[in-house]
Chain A
Amino acid sequence: MTKDLDETAPERTPWGRIARDGLWDNNVVLAQMLALCPLLAVTGTATNGLGLGLASLVVMVASGLLVSSLRGLITPQVRIPVFVLIIATLVTLVDLAMNAWLHDLHKVLGLFIPLIVTNCAILGRAESFASRNRIAPAVFDGLMMGIGFTLVLVTLGAMRELIGSGTLFANASLLLGEAMGFLEMTLIPDYRGFLLMILPPGGFLALGFLLAGQRLLKRLPIFKRRAQSVSFASPG
């Protein structure tokens, strides 16, 4: 039943381009400017960013898998409610699972997990990629978009945590287990803290600098050439 759709897909899956899109060229935050609400809310520390990033990644991969494998069944007229239903169910299951088995992390992130439902990035990928591609590329796209999102979350969290409280990856052992406790660093001892960076305005400031930094990097010759080649290859 999915045959006609498969024939429209390219002969060879452009794995490299999917990866580059997710990580850089079409990054959820840096290029699509989506998912800013959970992004700004949780990135007070790098650990929180990593936690929300990993949770979003799981949901993105699973929604890519489900949406892609069910795409022959779903008609265009009702696709949006069906996608929303799939994503909301996945997020609720992730929320329940984290509460049961990653309870300490859930205490930190619990408030923000339901926000993943409102994360337009996931619905966006379901609509523009997973529903038009075979399962393997859709899952890979979810993985790459998720990793790209996680990297931005961690970078932003690290910037704000470092400037705001002088530490890096505080409470990382809650998320990654005691073995990763070495990540917890106090880079600036006896730091009095710069409260603004921990509060929401700091999130906007840090995001602004991050975006400006990405624009500057894109001017470098190596990124310029890549960006052009992508724009030629891009279908829409």
Chain B
Amino acid sequence: MSRSLPQTFTDRDGIGYQALLLAGFALAASVLLVVGNLVTKGPIAERKAEDLLASLEQVIPAELHDNDLLAHPLMIPRSSLNSGSSRSPSPSRHSENAIIVYRALQGLDVTAVAFETLGQGYAGPIRVLLGIGVDGRILGARVLAHSETPGLGDKIEIARDAWITDFTGRDLSDPPPEQWAVKKDGGVFDQFSGATITPRAVVAAIKGGLETFAAQRDALTASAVITTEISQ
């Protein structure tokens, strides 16, 4: 093979050999990565769906639905979600502009919805999954991801503290809107010693989620047949 190639490509010190070598390795690396991606794509998607379903089942009781929670989610624009929030969502990422609402159905009637709401924590965004019944009451809330200080702010995780369960059963009138805050701000929710910003962010995120639900309630809880037709 080397005979058929011009001298520039066979001389190990020549630029041709170096270029071919780099190109060859780049090609081989690309092929490996493509194969790796193809092999792992399915399992990774399955794991992610399992994670999401496990979280959804924590905020929507099993007896409230007989459907697959992941099937036929609705999309609503995020701008309406955080209307009360001081931070404007970044317009660059598509996923941040739309919010996916998962619906719990019994037959074709919506019994509950669950969606993700964002709070601005001490060290970055806090993602909270919120389950709300059709009556506007919180069925459950769970923190999906955060980067708060370990040992201080991470009590918002259900694995570390039962704090987040305090929201279950509440709605926008319980407590009244001005008391939807941590105790330090005159509200009803406990803050943690040494960490006020984190629980404050979670309270704001959950309140924002409830307000979104209240604003979009008709669209979100309309019978599944109608909304499925509209969305298609």
Given contact pairs A44-B150, A96-B44, A198-B150, A74 touches B33 in the complex (Cβ within 8 A) = no
- Nearest-CB residue, chain B, relative to A193: B151
Which 9 interchain pairs have the tightest Cβ spacing? A100-B43, A100-B40, A103-B47, A89-B29, A96-B40, A195-B151, A93-B36, A78-B18, A100-B44
Q: In the complex, are the beta carbons of B18 and A92 less than 8 A apart? A: no
Least CB distance from A107 to B in Å reads: 8
How many residues of chain B get a CB closer than 8 Å to chain A's CBs?
A: 23
- Nearest-CB residue, chain B, relative to A99: B44
A100 contact set on B, CB distance < 8 A: 39-40, 43-44, 47
Q: How far is the CA of A73 from the CA of B21 in the complex (A)?
A: 8
B22 contact set on A, CB distance < 8 A: 78, 81-82
Least CB distance from B207 to A in Å reads: 28
Q: In the complex, are the beta carbons of B37 and A96 less than 8 A apart? A: yes
In terms of DSSP, what is the predominant structure of the interface of chain B?
helix
Q: Counting chain B CB atoms within 10 Å of each CB, which of A75, A88, A107 scores highest?
A: A75
Q: Which residues of A are interface residues toward B (Cβ below 8 A)?
A: 44, 73-75, 77-78, 81-82, 85-86, 88-89, 92-93, 96-97, 99-101, 103, 107, 164-165, 193, 195, 198-199
Given contact pairs A78-B18, A100-B44, A195-B151, A85 touches B25 in the complex (Cβ within 8 A) = yes
- Is the C-beta of B12 less than 8 angstroms from some C-beta in chain A? yes
**CB-contact partner of B43 in A73, A86, A101, A193, under 8 A:** A101
Q: In the complex, are the beta carbons of B47 and A86 less than 8 A apart? A: no
B13 contact set on A, CB distance < 8 A: 75, 77
Q: In the complex, are the beta carbons of A97 and B40 less than 8 A apart? A: yes
**CB-contact partner of B36 in A85, A92, A198, under 8 A:** A92
Q: How far is the CA of A55 from the CA of B75 in the complex (A)?
A: 38
- Nearest-CB residue, chain A, relative to B24: A73
